[in-house]
Structure 1
């Protein structure tokens, strides 16, 4: 792990466009300058090992992952109760580039970790969109998941440095709209 120059923490609901935004931001900055860090990766990797599951299938947005999501969330919460920094620490160990884009902050403890160790380098960015847009992207409300802390803990009480509204459903238009938003933010972000 190298010491980062800048950390962009991306948060948002399921199907809000966090990964799309993060991938486009990374391409605009230059892949050679930034690491995409997914806090959920070490959680999913450990969960897969314990339960003898396919780790790579837990990383995508498949029905396979959805089948285990509720139990993974409960297991992850249990692990965080033992050590609130465990998954942030594990996820950042792979960082080798000066800019980190953290794609999936979901809890106050995620933000607290980066502000504790990298306060001056951290930028908090929230991706938001309407439930209608999320539904059009394949989201369906699941009780126990969409009303759980893993989805709702950052809805209030956080002062975001930037909020990106991502309500366009046409993929080509959406990529173009997000690219324009990223271009406008880049000079401030970095």
Structure 2
């Protein structure tokens, strides 16, 4: 989602609500994501916490592939991002910045052509694992 005024107005509250849910049940949101999913490939975008990565690795150990998409702070600012203290420096925003072994790492500083080129090996990998 874009950094709309509406989203930014309620973002800190949404983060606090989400943290309360995770404190009660670390797999709460992960189970919602996979409930009734029948597609052979799932892309779970915007996973933000180590506990989420752990949950997927524990429940789907043979198929989980983690992908880190990153852009420099300069690029993010050019795209409209503005740092908000107390929000952008919390677990929900940077909890996966360190300590995760990523299966794939993509650089999103350039245009779509560069990203497509980086995605090709990942797409080939996924295609090779699909049931025939």
TM-score (structure 1 length as normaliser): 0.63
Mapped partners of 2:36, 2:77: distance in 1: 34
Structure ranking higher in helix proportion: 1
Mapped partners of 2:91, 2:40: distance in 1: 30
How does 1:1-190 map onto structure 2 within 5 Å?
Answer: 61-168=3-110, 174-190=111-127
Q: Deviations over 1:83-103 (max 9, x none)?
A: 000011112114231100011
Q: What's the counterpart of residue 8 of structure 1?
A: none
Which runs of 5 or more residues in structure 1 are unaligned? 1-58, 169-173
Mapped partners of 1:155, 1:144: distance in 2: 16
Count of residue pairs brought into register by the alignment: 127
Runs of 4+ in 1 over 3 A off after TM superposition: none
- Bigger RCO (CA 8 Å, 6+ sep): 1
Mapped partners of 1:73, 1:158: distance in 2: 22
Which runs of 5 or more residues in structure 2 are unaligned? 128-132
CA contact 1:114–1:122 (8 Å) conserved in 2: yes
TM-score (structure 2 length as normaliser): 0.90
CA contact 1:123–1:189 (8 Å) conserved in 2: no
Q: Deviations over 1:6-50 (max 9, x none)?
A: xxxxxxxxxxxxxxxxxxxxxxxxxxxxxxxxxxxxxxxxxxxxx
